[in-house]
Structure 1
Amino acid sequence: MTAIAGVAGQPISHSLSPLIHRAWIAAAGLDADYRAFGPADEAGFASLVADVRAARLRGLNVTAPFKGAALAMADEASDTARLCGSANLLVFDDGRVRADSTDGEGLMAALAEQAPELEVNGQPVLILGAGGAARAAAAALKQAGARVAVLNRTPARAEALAAELGVALASPDAAAGAALVVNALSVAPGFDVRTLRPDAVLMDMTYRPLLTPFLAAGRARGLTVVDGLAMLIGQARPSFHALFGVEPPAVDVRALVLEALGEAS
C-alpha cells in the first residue's frame, strides 16, 4: 500500500516540501507520496492528525500556523519539540502520534554546509526575533555551546524566550561582537552590517528571495552568508527518514528548488 505523508499549513501553495520529498521518493524507488494539505483552521488540522493516529497518513511536516497545535495534539513529544514549544513533524509510531522539531537540526546543517569554518562553541551568537523559528535556533545553538542572545522588536517576547531557554537578552549593540547573526524575523533587520566583525557569518531563515536584503548587504561587505533554503533542505532530511524509514538519496534537490524558484544556483 502506498505510504502517504505530507506537509500541513495555511497558506500552503508556496511550499517546496512536496518537490523536495517527491524527488527523494522517486530516487529511492519508494511506493509513497508526499502531499500538501491546507486545512482552513485548527479543526481541519485536527482531522489530519486523526488520520496520522489511524495510520491513514504516515505523518506530517507542519508549518505555520499549526506548529503549536501540532505539539499540543501529539501523544508524546521529543525533548527538542518541548523545548521549542512547537513541532514541525508528526509521525505515526505504533498507534500513537509523536511530535518532533527538526528546525534546529536544519539550521545546524545549513551552517555546516555554507559556513564550514564557523565554530559556534563558546562564541557569541545573536538571534533576531522571538517566534517559533527563533526559539528553535536558540535551542540548537545553545546545545552546540554558543553564547546565545536574543533581540526582538517586542522586548517582552524576547525576555520570555530568554528566560525559558536560559539564554541572554541582547543589548541593541550586541551584533557588533557576534560571530553569527541569525535573522528569524519575516522582515529585514534594521542594523548596519558595517558594524559587524569582519569574520561574522550572517544567516537568514527566509528563502524568498534566496538572497535577502540582509544577506545581500553582508555579501557586499565580504561576509559569509547562509540562506534559508539550506535550512529548509537540512530540516527535510531527518523528516524524510522519520516518515519513510530510509535516508534521503543523493539527489541535488537544491538545484530542483532553485529552478522552481527561478533563482540562479
Structure 2
Amino acid sequence: MTQGLPYAEVIGDPIAHSKSPLIHNFWLEKLQIEAEYRKAHVTPEGLAAYFLQRRADPDWLGCNVTIPHKIAVMDYTDDPGGVRTRIGAMNTIASETGGPLIGTNTDAGGFLQALIHRKWRGDHALIIGAGGAARAILFALTTFGIANITVMARDPAKAQALLDHAGTPGNVIGMTDPLPSVDLLVNGTSLGMVGQPDLAIDLSPLPTSALVYDIVYAPLETSLLVAAKARGLATVDGLEMLIGQAALAFDIFFDADAPREHDEELRALLTA
C-alpha cells in the first residue's frame, strides 16, 4: 500500500479469496499507470462506516462490490443509469471528488462476454440463485433475447420477486426439484466456492448441447463444472465473467481500456 497513490478496491465479506487485485494490478502494471487496486474486508454492519471513511479520502477512486453487499450498497449511491430499476444490484461504485458516489453494474456485461465470444444461442436458460449476481445475470439474459428463463432458489418467493422485478414471466423451482431441459445453466450463487457447500445437482436432464456456466472462480474447477465435463457438456468458468466485468470497471476507475491482449498471461497468473 502506497500513501498518496490513487486507488480503487473490492469490498466483501469474505474477501480474502478475491482475485480482483491481481487482475487490476496486472493491467495497471502493463499500462504503467501510477495507481493501486486493493481489497477490503467490510461486514454488513460496517458498510455505512466504510463509505463515510472512504469518501473523505481524496485518493479513493471507488470500489467493486462482491457478496453480500451488491443490493445493500444501493442505499449509499446515486444512480444516474437507472441500475436500481433495471437490475436491482450494483457491483461497481465510482467516486467523484467532492461529488456523489455513482453506482453501476458491470456484472451483466462481463457475464455476456463469454456467451458472445462463443457465439452461443439458445432459447431456455436456468439461473441458480436469487441474489445480486443472479439479478445481473437475469438482466443480461433478457437483453440477450432469452425469453424462457427458470430460476432455481431456496426461497421461491425471492426467486419470483427476481422475475417480477425484471418483468420476465419465467418459472421458479426449488433447489431439490429436477432440472428442466435447458440450453444454458448458470450458477449465480456462492455454492461451490471455497468455504461453502458444493452445488450438488443432477445434470442428467440437460441435453448434450447445453452450456454450463459457473460464476464461482475459487476454486476454478468447481464440482458443478467437473460434473458437467463428465457428461461431455461445454463449460464456462468463473474467471471469464470476473475478467470481463473487471475490464469494464477498470475503465471506470482508471479511465483506460484494460489491455485484453494479455488475457492468456493473466489467466496463467490467476491459476498459478
TM band (smaller chain) = 0.7 to 0.9
Aligned ranges for residues 116-265 of structure 1 at < 5 Å?
Answer: 116-120=118-122, 123-147=123-147, 148-167=149-168, 168-170=170-172, 172-173=177-178, 175-176=180-181, 178-187=182-191, 188-249=198-259, 250-251=261-262, 252-259=265-272
The code of the aligned residue for 1:256 comes to L
Superposition misfits of 4+ residues, deviation over 4 angstroms = 171-174
Deviations 1:15-72 (A, max 9, x none): 1111110000000110111111123444455433552476431111111222223211
Kindly state the Cα deviation for residue 207 of structure 1 after the two structures are TM-superposed.
1.5
The whole-number CA distance in structure 1 between the counterparts of 2:115 and 2:5 is 35
Match for 1:11 among 3, 11, 14? 14
Q: TM-score, length-normalised on structure 2? A: 0.85
Partner secondary structure for residue 27 of structure 2: helix
CA contact (8 A) 1:90 1:99 kept: yes
Give the drift of 1:14.
1.6
Distance 1:99 1:74 in 2: 6
Distance 1:192 1:43 in 2: 39
Query: 1:28 pairs with 22, 26, 31, which one?
Result: 31
Match of 1:263 in 2: none
1:225-248, Cα deviation, whole Å (9 max, x unpaired) = 011111111110000000000001
Count, aligned residues: 254
- Counterpart CA distance in 1 for 2:95 and 2:189 is 32
Structure-1-length-normalised TM-score: 0.87
Deviation digits for residues 175-225 of structure 1 (CA, Å, limit 9, x no counterpart): 21x111111233344442222111110111112221212111111111110
Go from structure 1 to structure 2 and tell me whether the alpha carbon gap of 1:53 and 1:118 turns closer, same or farther (over 3 Å shift): farther
Query: Closer, same or farther in 2 for the Cα pair 1:192/1:66, shift >3 Å?
Result: closer
1:37 corresponds to 2:47:
no
Alignment of 1:33-72 (within 5 A): 33-48=36-51, 51-52=54-55, 55-72=58-75
Q: Indicate the residue corresponding to 2:104 in structure 1.
A: 100
- Quote the sequence identity (%): 35
| CA distances 1:158-187 after superposition (whole Å, capped 9, x unpaired) | 1111111122124545521x1111112333
* Deviation, structure 1 residue 7: 1.0
- Structure (1 or 2) with the greater helix fraction: 1
Q: Which runs of 5+ in 1 are unaligned?
A: 260-265
Contact 1:92 1:98 in 2 (8 A): yes
Alpha carbons 1:75, 1:96 under 8 Å: kept: yes
Counterpart for residue 195 of structure 2? none
Contiguous gaps of at least 5 residues in structure 2: 192-197
Amino acid at match of 1:153: R
What does residue 90 of structure 1 align with?
Answer: 93
Q: Relative to structure 2, which stretch is displaced further, 213-222 or 190-199?
A: 190-199
The answer to whether the 8 Å contact 2:178/2:202 transfers is: no
Write the distance in 2 (CA, Å) between the matches of 1:43 and 1:209.
27
